[in-house]
Amino acid sequence: MVGNVLLLKHAESVPQAALAFARLFEEAGAPAGIYTNIFASIEQVGHVIEDPRVRGVTLTGSERAGAAVGERAGRNLKKVVLGIGRK
């Protein structure tokens, strides 16, 4: 990841998957703080996207979520990658 950190907000329905990812990073010996789970509301995630320390946003989800995230990221001139509408 060459100096970048990862902030990840999983769907509310899979909190155990989020915790499993954190364990994998820890077990692999990743430095503290390289991976952080975000357990946040949609409104709170919007504030994270707007934070100037956040350089890019990636989403895999619904078209509705993609439109909202893309719009917010675009307004804040962030790099964005969207994987939307997949089952």
SS3 track for 12-39:
CCCHHHHHHHHHHHHHCCCCCCCEEECC
pLDDT, tens only, 19-61:
999 999 999 999 988 999 999 888 899 999 999 999 999 998 8
**What confidence category does residue 13 fall into, taking pLDDT thresholds of 50, 70 and 90?**
confident
Is 2 in contact with 34 (CB distance < 8 Å)?
no
Query: What's the pTM?
Result: 0.78
Name the token pair of 27: 């077990």
